[in-house]
Structure 1
Amino acid sequence: MVGHAARRTAAGISLLLGTAAAAPAGAQSPAAPAPATVTRADLAWRYLLMDASYATADSVGRLSDSTRAAINRIFDRSTLSFFGGRFAMTAAMMDTAITMAAPTYRYERRALPVGVRIDKRPAREVRNALIARLAALDSTGTLAQPIASARARAALLVDTVSAERSAEFLTDPAALARAVTAEVGALEKGRNPYARAVGDLWRSYRGANGAAVPMRVIAPKAAASRAVGVLIALHGAGGDENMFAMGYGQGIAARLARENNLLFVSLATTPFMTSAVNFDSLTAVLGREYQLDATRIYVIGHSMGAGAAARLAQERPQALAAVVCLAGGSAVTAAGAPPVLFIGAQLDPVIPAARVKAAAAATPSGTYEERANEGHTLMVRGGVLRGVPWLLQHTRTR
């Protein structure tokens, strides 16, 4: 639930909402109620805590099947409440679920920076100076995309950090200011500062109709000197480009990509639901900045992102080596479509496992697997651990 403004789901989901499910015997209740006004930052930090607590408890075998199922059911109810805009109820249910995985848990709200200063100057002054320098450059030439990225990065420098925008509250303003200053300097000299860049970078690019598409790019050291494959990750509803990079199993997809020398690109999903041109623009941008191995371009998506991943497989079948759809997706019937692994979750109330299985059955290149005792969101960690190695078994014939 790290992300920008919540995406409201179809009216049918609201029928599934209700009061929080009771915790099973022995589970502790949170020590204090959720704050009167719950922000997206509150939900973001809770999600990251839930994700970490569940992963830790699961990895050491501390969760029985019945406890795992109970945690998943409660957490999925919190997800449905979130979709309905009931943030206080969402927070309370998340607290219950987290406590079941980590009994000593107590939520403490993190104070967000106010009156941010960088080298004794208000952050907005640093931002405005950088944007003014960028405005003097030719934004229609070969450096148009990197200029757009630098402008988006500079815009994160604000005096008061928003509790509703994760790209702001997950950013270190001083470090960002230093980095963007160097990037603007490179652009002024006619160089693309993002070409062959390694490490973890929040940025954006211009997609269909010039719309800005936020993304996290995490590049392994190998990307600086040789051809690398690409793992494109598309989050579910209510999330954003940080979900696969930091959440969903504590960023397990990004770690696996780095370990296997893949360029990891986690994007805002919504643009990919409307136009495959956004994929074309993305690969064009990445292709100018890195040496890409076109035989190893993979896509993984969760929920809404699984739908977007299936759509890409349908509309750009020749471009992809393989696709994984987690707790979602649709039939892929295009000629020459890549292999598609659909993974459903046994307890999923949002996109039932039967629906995911049906999509796989209608996909000639599809395979179906199911996560037992798990629900819509917490299944992603296990799905990624299964899905990424599966992706790496496939290459696309040139």
Structure 2
Amino acid sequence: MHDYTKGAQEILQGYPRGRRELTGVIESLFSPAKTYRWFTEAGVPLKVEDDGRVFPKSNDAEDVVAALLKAAKDAGVQLSCGTKVMGVQQQQEEGNFRVVVRKGGEVQRMTAAAVIVATGSASCGRDWAQDMGHDIVDPVPSLFGFRLAPQSVLDGLAGVSLPDVELTLRDSVEASETGAKKKGKGKAGPAAKYARAAGVDPKAALCRRGPIMCTHSGITGPAALQLSAYTARALADFRYKGTVSANFAPPLRAAQVIEAFQAARSGPDRKKRVATGATQILTSHPATDDVGKREALSICGRVQEEWQLPKRLWLSICESVQLPDAASWADLSDAHIKGLAEALTQAELRFVNRSPHKEEFVTAGGISSKQIDFRASDPMKSLSSKLTPGLYFCGEVLDADGVTGGFNFQSAWSTGYAAGHAAANYVLTLEEQGAIG
């Protein structure tokens, strides 16, 4: 889960897809605050990290599992481990479901008045729903890093952490194929269109700010993972090839950096070697001193109190503009200054695939939200199928997913709670009506 002290509307900003649909469930039925209380009362003390993620104070996930198992046992839930569900079918004449399972070498058939599909990203849950007439939004990967093409400014920087970087996706098929900037104004690219359809500000979807980590194959870290999440469907359309623009000193722009470097060329630092670093130049000049005391605009909202430009990155930037190793600030030409400023604030990072590491991979896509009742006001309808009475969905099988930081866990807790209560109320109502024994 994510920081329970934040309001529901702030939490909902962490969902690139499903934000509108999850609003009632997270606001009214099982909010982060209620989730926090549930686990605390179940004997799992929690702690909130600086970036908003919530963990057991013990740092042991087994404590969470144990609390859930105990709660299930106390409620009289019967668990059948080592059992594979082979299929779920609606029996319209009987008004119930036939569930086929295999335990060991034995195939068993059972009936159920209600079924909750909570199969995560596994294809079986989508297959059962499709067999019962539901539409499926094709699943695509989300929350991954980027494999970069050779000869980027980050080559050879594996292991370097950059605490505050602004990543912007070039949003056009042309840019994804050639690296060219999109031509024409007012034409929304695929990523912007997908974001708008999901109720997300396209500018926020295409530009994410936060920490990144350089790896042997490319980049990962919160900003990269968030960018891949908000643009997951467009990146799939691009076949995971395109260009990301990186600003290594946000919120500065090239013009501000050029002004600071021009001042350094004729100022007290003019005889210093450029390769020794640019941190002092960027944090002391009036045009750029905001870089030293700005608030990061990432989802975690942390304040970077003391900004430093990593030396290995700066050396790579200097090499990218073919700056002589011994060059001083006084030696810089206008072309050198322009090149350094652009490499620092709008470096082009060509990516050729997803990162080979699994990281926090989740699936974007699932059961069409148009065919699921997300109303929080009806005690029997929340997370129910609009096509098949008694059928409920929760978790990652829904077409709703979040960014890294506990948002996908919160969706699972909230939708699981809502679906469980609604299904129980549905069955109890049938019993009261004498429809089932």
TM range (shorter): under 0.3
Q: Which structure dedicates a bigger proportion of its chain to helix?
A: 1
For normalisation by structure 2, the TM-score amounts to 0.22
Higher relative contact order (CA 8 A, sep 6+): 2
Structure of larger gyration radius = 2
TM-score scaled by length of structure 1: 0.23
